[in-house]
């Protein structure tokens, strides 16, 4: 029986773990997200059952996922793509197509519908921008060519997967607009926001030049985020997708670095740890020990993801003339899955595209990839020595 389910107590416990646990797990080279997921699983209903979630806590978790996608979108600055467009496009195609085919084939072979197979193929395309950026920062590769290209490829892959996810969910939801009209509204709204939202934000920034200008700017950005989320929710766009689009659009705002740091502080100080902790609480690692359809499907999906992403990442890097150790780096870091994969899975489950068995398999795949992907990348990087431009 759960020891506590009070929102305040659970929230305090999660924030405490978010502060202390990542520091303890640094010795094992585990990222912030991975350590919180492990602890969440240990203390949650599927572990020691000391903590329980409720609606209020899940709201904080949803906001954490929204902040993650917002910050991922903010990293998608256009200047990253200017000098490396050809390499980024080529590597994105190779690193998307092969995993898509593998994920699609696995689910189809287990007897699922075409929609479910397409959904898993889309999830195989996606990556985890937050984990990839964190790993690149840990390895101090932000100024290296391979680090810059990997960051850009991850962004492109997430944009592709999020767009395809939106199409799949809309096609399964007959109560919304017809698909053609819906896509037209979505694309046109993104174009309009891309043209006017940065200018509108800049205008408000210029009007508020006081001693507390950055606090005012931060409130303006959060207010804009909520307004856009409401608009897109009315259109039927998944809020996680909308958050990424807002970040992508606001990335054009000049001198946005200070605001981004404040958003990062708020997100990772409060909401993001709760999201990762809740993911852990909803995951039962004991499922991997069973021998039934769920287990075989789960193992196939996990192995299919790791092999397809690693091989396609290696091949795509070699196709652009990178050395073997750089290709290995890209292949291993490509295997991480988290925010996009989880949000896509729960959104698809809510509209009936996948069942609970496939849901559990994808959640387990995402959790394991957050543990193995970054750890494998750091291990291989240190084993092969530093990467030089």
Neighbours of 149 (CB within 10 A): 23
Give the pLDDT confidence of 6-62 residue by residue, as tens digits: 667 777 777 777 667 666 666 665 667 667 777 787 887 777 777 777 777 777 877
| 64 closest CA partner among 256, 266, 228 | 266
Write out the two tokens for 15. Answer: 């924030």
Q: Which of 5-14, 27-36, 251-260, 356-365 has the highest mean pLDDT?
A: 356-365
Report pLDDT for 109: 93
Domains and CATH numbers, the chain: 74-266+291-384 (1.20.1530.20)
For 110-129, b where at least 16 C-beta lie within 10 A, e where not — what string?
Answer: bebeebbbbbbbbbbbbbbb
Question: Rounded mean pLDDT of 274-297?
Answer: 71
**Is the predicted pLDDT of residue 310 greater than 80, yes or no?**
yes
Q: How many whole angstroms separate alpha carbon 305 and alpha carbon 105?
A: 12
Q: What is the pTM of this model?
A: 0.75
């Amino acid at each position: 029986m759960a020891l506590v389910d009070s929102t305040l107590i659970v929230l305090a416990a999660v924030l405490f773990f978010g502060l202390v646990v990542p520091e303890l797990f640094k010795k094992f080279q585990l990222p912030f997200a991975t350590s919180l997921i492990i602890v969440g699983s240990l203390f949650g209903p599927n572990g020691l059952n000391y903590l329980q979630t409720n609606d209020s806590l899940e709201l904080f978790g949803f906001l954490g996922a929204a902040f993650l996608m917002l910050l991922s979108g903010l990293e998608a600055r256009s200047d990253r793509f200017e000098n490396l467009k050809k390499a980024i496009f080529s590597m994105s195609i190779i690193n998307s197509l092969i995993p898509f085919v593998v994920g699609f084939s696995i689910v189809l072979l287990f007897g699922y519908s075409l929609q479910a197979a397409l959904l898993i193929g889309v999830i195989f395309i996606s990556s985890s921008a937050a984990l990839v950026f964190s790993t690149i920062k840990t390895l101090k590769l932000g100024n290296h060519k391979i680090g810059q290209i990997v960051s850009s490829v991850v962004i492109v892959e997430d944009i592709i997967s999020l767009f395809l996810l939106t199409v799949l969910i809309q096609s399964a939801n007959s109560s919304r607009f017809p698909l053609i009209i819906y896509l037209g509204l979505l694309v046109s709204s993104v174009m309009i926001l891309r043209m006017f939202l940065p200018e509108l934000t800049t205008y408000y920034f210029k009007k508020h030049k006081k001693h507390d200008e950055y606090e005012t700017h931060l409130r303006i950005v959060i207010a804009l985020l909520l307004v856009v989320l409401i608009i897109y929710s009315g259109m039927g766009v998944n809020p996680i997708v909308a958050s990424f689009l807002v970040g992508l659009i606001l990335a054009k705002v000049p001198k946005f670095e200070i605001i981004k740091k404040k958003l990062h502080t708020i997100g990772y100080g409060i909401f993001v740890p709760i999201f990762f902790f809740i993911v852990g609480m909803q995951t039962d690692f004991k499922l991997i020990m069973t021998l039934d359809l769920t287990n075989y499907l789960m193992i196939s999906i996990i192995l299919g993801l790791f092999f397809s992403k690693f091989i396609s990442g290696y091949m795509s890097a070699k196709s652009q003339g990178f050395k073997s150790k750089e290709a290995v780096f890209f292949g291993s870091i490509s295997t991480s899955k988290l925010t996009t994969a989880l949000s896509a899975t729960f959104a698809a489950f809510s509209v009936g595209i996948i069942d609970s068995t496939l849901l559990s398999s994808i959640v387990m795949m995402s959790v394991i990839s957050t543990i193995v992907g970054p750890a494998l990348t750091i291990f291989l990087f240190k084993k092969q020595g530093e990467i030089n431009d």
